[in-house]
């Protein structure tokens, strides 16, 4: 019995693809044309390495920041290097869930 592990079968990347309707995050899994998951330990590793801007980009613009995603696209097309990211959609969902418990929370 021979195991067939080919590099060409393992390689996967995503430039465009579907997003979840609720969280606006990329879908998971190669079969869904999804993105790779950035877990808690990977975030800690990037923090320890000092890659703050890479981490900010991965957790906002490349994930679920709708406004930031549009701004980044426009800035790339206009060759503008600076990008300000907005509030991720997952944080907006958290705020809505807390507000549904009758807590008055406002982002300043």
CATH match for 10-99 among 2.40.230, 3.30.200, 3.90.1800, 3.30.460: 3.90.1800
| pLDDT for residue 8 is more than 90 | no
The CA-atom distances, in angstroms, between 100 and each of 8, 28, 89 are 47, 28, 16
Q: What is the pLDDT of residues 47-106, one digit of tens each?
A: 999 999 888 888 888 888 888 888 888 888 999 887 777 788 888 889 999 999 999 988
Higher pLDDT, 49 or 21: 49
| Assessment of whether the complete model's pTM goes beyond 0.85 | no
φ, ψ dihedrals at 21, nearest 5°: -70, -40
pLDDT at 95: 92
């Amino acid at each position: 019995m021979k195991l067939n592990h080919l590099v060409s079968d393992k390689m996967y990347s995503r430039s465009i693809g579907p997003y979840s309707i609720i969280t606006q995050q990329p879908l998971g899994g190669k079969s869904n044309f999804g993105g790779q998951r950035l877990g808690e330990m990977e975030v800690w590793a990037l923090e320890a390495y000092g890659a703050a801007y890479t981490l900010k980009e991965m957790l906002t613009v490349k994930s679920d920041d709708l406004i930031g995603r549009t701004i980044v696209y426009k800035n790339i097309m206009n060759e503008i290097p600076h990008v300000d990211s907005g509030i991720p959609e997952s944080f907006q969902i958290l705020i809505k869930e807390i507000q549904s418990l009758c807590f008055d929370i406002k982002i300043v």
